[in-house]
Amino acid sequence: MNLLALFFLACTSSTGSKESLDSSTPGFCEKVSDGGSYEAADRAGSSSSGDLVVKVITVEDVDIRNPLYIAFKDYTLENTDTGGIQQTGQTSGDGIATITGLGPGNWSFQASFARGSRICTAELSVPVTAGQLTTGCVVMSCPD
């Protein structure tokens, strides 16, 4: 069987749904119900700042990692305790945003993009602690 035939077979054999994704046994941020959650773990490095990794998933497709909804999306990050200037960036091709050297406090992550006349958004509030790596999971959704 040639490579093109294998690719076609792989692309057409998906029969899952969003509900079936929740019943599997994946790791953190691998199911829709993980949206809005976060985990923190100690890390080596600065005792005055923390790091944040946010993974974006979507409910707009059977594949919660559909790049159309999560890849290369603009985001803003703001410390809701102290305010200040918002940080901006873009998620990776896997829907991941990695931000290092954040001051401790509560941070608000917001990602969005226009899909036709609809604005799709993902929002997460997460505490960042000095000396820790915080990993958050956020769901991108598009209102009707």
Q: What would the two tokens of residue 77 be? A: 């990050």
Judge whether 133 lies within some domain.
yes
**Residue 93 φ/ψ, nearest 5 degrees:** -65, -20
| Blockwise average pLDDT, block size 10, the chain, 144 residues | 39 36 59 93 82 95 94 96 89 95 94 92 95 95 88
> How many CA atoms lie within 13 Å of 140's alpha carbon, on the beta-carbon side?
32
CATH of the domain at 131: 2.60.40.10
For residue 10, is it within any domain?
no
Residue 45: per-residue pLDDT: 64
Q: Are 34 and 58 spatial neighbours (Cβ–Cβ below 8 Å)?
A: no
Residue 26: per-residue pLDDT = 53
pLDDT of residue 59: 94
Range of the domain at 55: 29-140
The answer as to whether 107 is a domain residue is yes
Give the Cα separation of 89 and 102 in Å (integer). Answer: 14
Query: Is the Cα dihedral 54, 19, 58, 119 positive or negative?
Result: negative
132 φ/ψ angles, rounded to the nearest 5 degrees: -130, 155
Q: Is residue 115 part of a domain?
A: yes
Q: How far apart are CA 40 and CA 35, in angstroms?
A: 15
What is the structure's pLDDT at 48?
87
| Count: domains in the chain | 1
- What's the longest Cα–Cα distance across the chain? 59
Q: Is residue 24 in some structural domain?
A: no
Q: What is the pTM of this model?
A: 0.78
User: What pLDDT sits at residue 3?
Assistant: 37
Long-range pairs for 5-9: beta carbons < 8 A, 24 or more residues apart:
none
- Residue 79: per-residue pLDDT: 94
**Residue 81 falls within a domain, yes or no?**
yes
Residues 51-82 have pLDDT tens digits of 999 999 999 999 999 999 999 999 999 999 98
